[in-house]
Amino acid sequence: MDFTSDNTCGAHPKILEAIVAANSGAVPSYGEDPFSIKAAEKLTAVFEHEAAIFLVATGTAANALALGALCPPWGAVFCQENAHVSEDECGAPEMFTAGAKIVGIRGFAGKIAAADLKATLASFPSGPVKQVQPAVLSLSQLTEAGTAYTCEEIAELSSIAHQAGLKVHMDGARFANALVSQNLSPAAMSWQAGIDVLSLGATKNGALACEAVIFFDPALAQAFGFQRKRAGHTISKGRFLGAQMCAYLDGGLWLDLAQIANGHAARLAAEFAKVPGVRLPWAACANEIFAIIPRALDETLKAAGARYYDWSLRDFPENKNPPVENEVFIRLVTSFETTAADIERFIGVVRK
């Protein structure tokens, strides 16, 4: 009953098999190998768009490098105020941009509302020398609250950003979970909705350690090879990143695994809805559930061996119905390794 995160599980066996299979023989290092090249081809096909594609080993690297490619040191990156790039990467975007400002925009359930983005950009014009210059909108999909933007929402936000001269980045650490939750195509949820650069996660959804930075406009990636290298993120035996990504995509494995994780979460959420005293502050749609539960239930669950995180009140400013005394705000995350047995055991405790 480990629901702490989708990175406490291992890698999917097919990913491991691909790593083992890629092991024999000498191939060029530093990403020039056939596996990495193949991975780029597959991603191009899956996303139905030419792209400059780079593989790295961590999500923080995928985000921070992407932002470093889009934002000058005197620039501003706008994101929802609880976004991972703002709160959970120990300042990596600041480091990789050489000191840009990450500007949080308030928003309910992890999302930026179009009106709020407009208001923020209106009050933050390009030009005045005294302030950092608007450069990037970064959207998280899934959001930090486990919710997903619709394509229409992404398109509207991207359009506002583009009109103001910004580039649009998507932190897609849980891109697959968002995708299958809405039954969309990768193209629809990325470049067709205005995304310029996508950090596509694989690690949380079955890979060992693999993420892709996908530039739908390759011109934006002109210096990326140098930026990745000097950040220490050019893996020497790059074949192992390529092999992971190939296996991740092959036969739609990535979508199947996300479906499994999402399904478990839906089951949990449905059950929570029946329990008196349990509230979901916003609807769960993918593999993360945020819930406000009675402290007694929290204690019972933990005593029964359930593991999950208490969540920070800092991440909750817009909620009109916050936890009160004797309530606890928690987050549960499911993964492709979560078992039905885990779920049922957890539900069993809840029902008692």
Whether a cis peptide bond, with omega within 30° of 0, leads into 142 is yes
Kindly tell me which of 7 and 150 has the beta carbon lying closer to its own copies.
7
Q: Does residue number 100 form part of the binding site for its own copies (CB under 8 A)? A: yes
Count of residues that interact with its own copies, criterion CB under 8 A: 80
By the 10 Å C-beta count (0-12 exposed, 13-18 middle, 19+ buried), 225 is classed as: middle
Bridge partners (DSSP) of residue 294 are 327
Q: Which of 149, 240, 248, 254 binds its own copies (CB under 8 A)?
A: 240
Q: Does residue number 263 form part of the binding site for its own copies (CB under 8 A)? A: no
Q: Does residue number 295 form part of the binding site for its own copies (CB under 8 A)? A: no
Q: Does residue number 324 form part of the binding site for its own copies (CB under 8 A)? A: no
Kindly tell me which of 64 and 268 has the beta carbon lying closer to its own copies.
64
Kindly tell me which of 192 and 335 has the beta carbon lying closer to its own copies.
335
Q: What are phi and psi of 102, to 5 degrees?
A: -95, 115
Q: Does residue number 319 form part of the binding site for its own copies (CB under 8 A)? A: no
Q: Does residue number 232 form part of the binding site for its own copies (CB under 8 A)? A: yes
Kindly tell me which of 49 and 316 has the beta carbon lying closer to its own copies.
316
* Contact (CB, 8 A) for 12 and 206: yes
Kindly tell me which of 1 and 193 has the beta carbon lying closer to its own copies.
1
By the 10 Å C-beta count (0-12 exposed, 13-18 middle, 19+ buried), 291 is classed as: buried
Q: Does residue number 34 form part of the binding site for its own copies (CB under 8 A)? A: no
For the chain, how far is it from start to end, CA to CA, in angstroms? 16
Per CB under 8 A, contacts with its own copies among 190-209 are 203-204, 208-209
To its own copies, the closest distance from the beta carbon of 209 in angstroms equals 5
Specify the amino acid at residue 22: A
Number of residues written out for the chain: 352
Q: Which stretch binds its own copies (CB under 8 A): 42-50, 123-131, 138-146, 343-351?
A: 123-131
Question: DSSP string spanning 29-69?
Answer: STT-SHHHHHHHHHHHHHHTS--EEEEES-HHHHHHHHHHH
* Contact (CB, 8 A) for 157 and 139: yes
Kindly tell me which of 181 and 234 has the beta carbon lying closer to its own copies.
234
Per CB under 8 A, contacts with its own copies among 128-167 are 129-133
| Site mask for its own copies (CB under 8 A), range 45-74, x = bound | -----------xxxxxxx-xx------xxx
- In angstroms, the Cα distances linking 187 to 162, 184, 287, 297 are 18, 8, 21, 42
CA dihedral defined by 279, 280, 283, 287, rounded to 10 degrees? -130
Q: Which stretch binds its own copies (CB under 8 A): 27-35, 138-146, 181-189, 260-268?
A: 27-35
Kindly tell me which of 20 and 114 has the beta carbon lying closer to its own copies.
20
Q: How far apart are CA 238 and CA 217, in angstroms?
A: 23
Q: Does residue number 340 form part of the binding site for its own copies (CB under 8 A)? A: no
Q: Which of 49, 118, 237, 267 binds its own copies (CB under 8 A)?
A: 237
